[in-house]
Amino acid sequence: MNARMKRAWQWMAWLVLAAAPWLTGLSHPFLYDDIGLISENSFLAEPANAAQVLTGRTLADPDVVNGRRPVVLATLFLDRGLYGLQPAGWRVTNLAWHLGNAALVAGLLMRLGAPGGWPLAAGMLFALYPAHVEAVHAPGFRADVLCLFWMLAALHGFLSVRRWPRAGPVWGMACAALALLSKETALAFPLLLGLLMVLFPAAFPPRRLARGVIWGLCAGLSAGFFVLWVALPTDLQAMGGSWNGQSLRFPASIHSLPGIWAHTLGRLIWPWPLNVSPHFAPAGGAASWRVAWGLLLLAGWMGLAFRWRQSRPWVAMGLGWILVLFLPVSNLIPLFHPVADRYLYTLAPGVAIGLAWGLWRLPVVPRWAGLAVLVTLYAAGVLAAKEDWRSGEALWTAAIVRNPHSATAASWLGLLREEAGDPDAAREWYATGTAANPYSFAAWLNWGILEGRQGNWAESERLLRRAIDVRPENPRGWHNLAVCLERQGRVVEAAEAAARGEEARSYGRTKP
């Protein structure tokens, strides 16, 4: 068997092992954001709307969910045409992108000159990382997977400049743009590219000026996209609209950053148990012990990355990767949800790189034994976490058990009780949701709709007006209030509410 054939078989075996745990549960129903973004998305149901996506017209349309992420929408339109509303096909697509990311991580290390077989080990550990379940299993969270894919592809493009001095930069810039059109996380790409240029200068053009030009073009591209997003009528994450009771507002966003860093490191080291609706309590102020502890961890992490930049560049790469990709989820730009398991997706290559490097420092037997243990544990974690996604009841019951403060979980459980024909239980769940988070628009709105369906129009009006108080810019509250008023015979007031609904603009349509 020649060397090329042997390498092909190695990659095939690697691919099968990396994919195996993900092949369970492909036919699980659409849940969480999959419902609003896929199964109930009227925009996606009309194939002609794909032209708006491909021409960039959705970028300025706040009524298109994820309109500022046309690359994501384009893949969703393709899946809708291929698979209709059969979840398995959509999940196969997600898995293909994810495995592509794992291969690109391994290939990146090879391009940078990593010795031995540890690049493949790093790719394997990334592929099986349990915290990826939310991003990989749920097509509605595909943005994270696509964003990382195009950032990795861009890095490969810039690493090809020595061989293809013209095509390499063009490919790199094109992929960086596609990453930015997938998710705002790609704003950090210039820092990631700069990190690799500092640690592995020999892999890039030898002249410092050439490297500076490449980096400057990437920085300019990211800056241009940021200015565009700020100027567009669609809000950038939680920077506009009414407060949802979860996002961090200034100065809590600054005080809480060290705590979010500590939380993120903890989840990266021990990604269990997973939760689609985690809780994060903001820091009480600059003097909080959480601020001091988080700053100590941050300073130590940065110090190690700087100290090892020459003696242990691969470790510095892993540490630096996590630092750079933490910035988009640090809440410097406030996010709708301060923390989420899916936010770990783009940071995880740093973990995989560090773990694989550490294993390959061991003798052969402990090395392979350690890798086998990690692969087994990670695969078991993936299989266990996917069990939560077998049904809406299982997913949201697990979420409320792990985070009793989750108004999101309570609202979904209320909807499930309604569908099961149990309005009393649904009412209790909506009450639980509003108690947990008085700013939960969904809990107030769904509760108000439930009371209307039960003929309790006065109570329905009270609850719908509460929903409108929480988010006056959301037309759903006004439209449902109009129906409620009309059923009470208050025609003039109903018309006024309907008019307000037509004027209202829906904020925050881009998913976090």
Residues 485 and 348 in one domain: no
Residue 64 belongs to some domain of the structure: yes
Asked if residue 508 is part of any domain, the answer here is: no
Residue 194 has what pLDDT? Answer: 96
pLDDT at 181: 96
DSSP assignment of 460-499: HHHHHHHHHHH-TT-HHHHHHHHHHHHHTT-HHHHHHHHH
pLDDT value, residue 289: 84
Locate 124 and state its tokens: 């394997």
511 has a pLDDT exceeding 70? no
Q: Is the omega angle on the peptide bond into residue 119 within 30 degrees of 0, that is, cis? A: no
Give backbone dihedrals phi and psi of 35, rounded to 5 degrees, phi first: -70, -55
Both 146 and 257 in one domain: the answer is: yes
Q: Based on the domain organization, do 416 and 338 belong to the same domain?
A: no
185, 144 in Cβ contact below 8 A? yes
In this prediction, residues 90-99 reach a mean pLDDT of: 97
Copy the structure tokens of residue 485: 């008023």
pLDDT at position 453 is 94
Whether 396 is covered by a domain: the verdict is: no
pLDDT exceeds cutoff 50 at 439: yes
Give the pLDDT score at 245.
84
d(CA 299, CA 464): 48
Report the C-alpha gap between 129 and 125 in whole angstroms.
6
Residue 395 included in any domain: no
86, 88, 90, 96: CA torsion to nearest 10: -160
60: exposed, middle or buried (Cβ count in 10 Å: 0-12, 13-18, 19+): middle
What pLDDT is recorded for position 148? Answer: 98
Instruction: Report the alpha-carbon distance of residue 216 to residue 218 in Å, rounded.
Output: 5
Mean pLDDT of 27-42: 93
Q: For residue 512, what are its two tokens? A: 């976090």
The whole model's pTM is what? 0.93
Query: Based on the domain organization, do 487 and 351 belong to the same domain?
Result: no
Q: Are residues 301 and 358 in the same domain?
A: yes
Domain count, the chain: 2
Among 327, 359, 389, where does a domain finish?
389
State residue 505's pLDDT score: 56
> What whole-number distance in Å separates Cα of residue 465 and Cα of residue 348?
43
Instruction: Check whether residue 314 and residue 410 sit in a common domain.
Output: no
**What's the confidence (pLDDT) of residue 346?**
97
Residue 331 lies in a domain: yes
Q: For residue 449, which of 410, 490, 408, 477 has the smallest C-alpha distance?
A: 477
Instruction: Give Cα 365 distance to the centre of its chain.
Output: 37
Confidence of residue 230 (pLDDT cuts 50, 70, 90): confident
pLDDT (tens digit per residue) in 376-433: 999 999 999 999 999 999 999 999 999 999 999 999 999 999 999 999 999 999 999 9
Q: How confident is the model at residue 11, as a pLDDT?
A: 81
Q: Which of 333, 362, 389 is a domain's end point?
A: 389
Domain-located, residue 305: yes
Mean of the per-residue pLDDT values of the chain = 92
CATH number at 457 reads: 1.25.40.10
Which of the four pLDDT bands, split at 50, 70 and 90, describes residue 507? very low
Domain boundary among 366, 389, 412: 389
Residues 259 and 188 in one domain: yes
Q: In this predicted model, what pLDDT tens digit does every residue of 305-353 receive, in sequence order?
A: 999 999 999 999 999 999 999 999 999 888 889 999 999 999 999 999 9
Structure confidence by residue, pLDDT tens digits, 269-316: 999 899 999 989 888 777 788 889 999 999 999 999 999 999 999 999
Which structural domain, as residue segments, surrounds residue 436? 404-503
162 and 73 in a single domain? The answer is: yes
Segment 465-481 mean pLDDT: 93
One domain for residues 49 and 93: yes
Query: DSSP readout, 126-187?
Result: HHT-GGGHHHHH-GGGHHHHHHHHHHHHHHHHHTTTTT-TTHHHHHHHHHHHHHHTT-GGGG
Distance CA 49, CA 280 (A): 38
**For position 115, what pLDDT does the model report?**
85
Query: Distance between CA 185 and CA 198 in Å, rounded?
Result: 21
CA atoms within 13 A on the CB side of 164: 11
Same domain, 412 and 368: no
Pair 335, 300 in one domain: yes
* The predicted structure's pLDDT at residue 417: 96
pLDDT at 506: 45
Does 416 lie in the same domain as 371? no
